[in-house]
Amino acid sequence: MSHAVIQADKSSLAEMKAHYQEHLKNNPPQYASFAAKLGKVTITAYQSGKVVFQGEGAESEASKWGKLAASDDETSSSQSSSLPADFAKWSIIGSDEVGTGSYFGPLTVCAAYVDKEQIPLLKELGVKDSKNLTDSQITSIAKDLISFLPYSLLKVMPEKYNSIQRRMSQGKMKAVLHNQALIHVLNKINPKRPEAILIDQFELPSTYKKHISDQDQQVLDQVYFETKGESRHIAVAAASIIARYAFLDSLDQMSQKAGFKIPSGANKEADIAAAKLLKKGGLSLLGQYAKLHFANTEKAQELLK
């Protein structure tokens, strides 16, 4: 039987859990941080950070995260990068998405161009991995960034997301959105060309290429894919901050509309908020707030029984 093991740090573990949100098993084994079943692959993550992939296709599923294997912390993560040595100093477009692991709120994708001359300014403004920033820092930095950076922000609100998701996997949806955002930014900065493009990796590059193969225009020239892209180039960190700001802002607006807090993530708190919305207006109301294909929908329905 195919089998692969990788070692992940805490934040990667959280990212993986969010990634497999729709496929989580209800009864993870003892000492497991989570367990998921995706097609024929069973994924078990332990609190030690060890993640075990078993079953047909295990290696290819693990390879999505393969770069994590060598990286227990930020300092060692740079060693496993396949990027050119001085890549962090290039003028590039970075892109990232937010909201894929959150039951409530939109899926947001942002691409942003950062000229190498602007890198010191971005550092000054506090741009770094958004996982190390508070929500209010993200909001204020994002507002600065959108005032001068060439960027494209695509926001798919839940209602639209749910209708697209019926005919398209989340992976394909993300790939198509990244490709569109990149086209927009390339057009904005034309005739200038970036030295490269870095997409924060969410699937195998070969899968990404397959996902955008039916698009009229495919941005693939000088495109790199890296996990932890935010730590590879500040353009990805900037794109990530803008995407997260848009996501948080939508959650705020949803909370105002609902009259109670619409939480981020996909935990018990989400189930409870979903149950309230279901009680008030059924699936059609919930579908204006949430990504209905997540397991939270069923859990909320259970809560109402």
Binding site for Mn ion (CB under 5 A): 96, 200
- Rg over alpha carbons for the chain, rounded to the nearest Å, is 19
Rank residues 225 and 273 by Cβ distance to Mn ion and give the closer one: 225
Structure tokens at 164: 């697209």
Query: Least separation, in Å, of the C-beta of 200 and Mn ion?
Result: 4
DSSP 3-state assignment of 83?
coil
Phi, psi of 73, deg, nearest 5: -150, 175
Rank residues 174 and 299 by Cβ distance to Mn ion and give the closer one: 174
Q: Round to whole Å and give the CA distance between 144 and 121.
A: 11
Rank residues 19 and 299 by Cβ distance to Mn ion and give the closer one: 19
Rank residues 198 and 275 by Cβ distance to Mn ion and give the closer one: 198
Three-point CA angle 274, 279, 283, nearest 5°: 65
Query: Least separation, in Å, of the C-beta of 199 and Mn ion?
Result: 9
Query: Least separation, in Å, of the C-beta of 97 and Mn ion?
Result: 6
Q: Round to whole Å and give the CA distance between 172 and 212.
A: 7
Q: Kindly provide the residue ranges of all beta strands, DSSP E only, lying in 48-100, ordered along the sequence.
A: 50-54, 92-98
Query: Least separation, in Å, of the C-beta of 196 and Mn ion?
Result: 17
**What is the four-CA torsion angle of 250, 255, 258, 259, rounded to 10 degrees?**
-150
Query: Least separation, in Å, of the C-beta of 233 and Mn ion?
Result: 13
Residue nearest to Mn ion (CB): 200
Q: Round to whole Å and give the CA distance between 224 and 205.
A: 9
Rank residues 96 and 226 by Cβ distance to Mn ion and give the closer one: 96
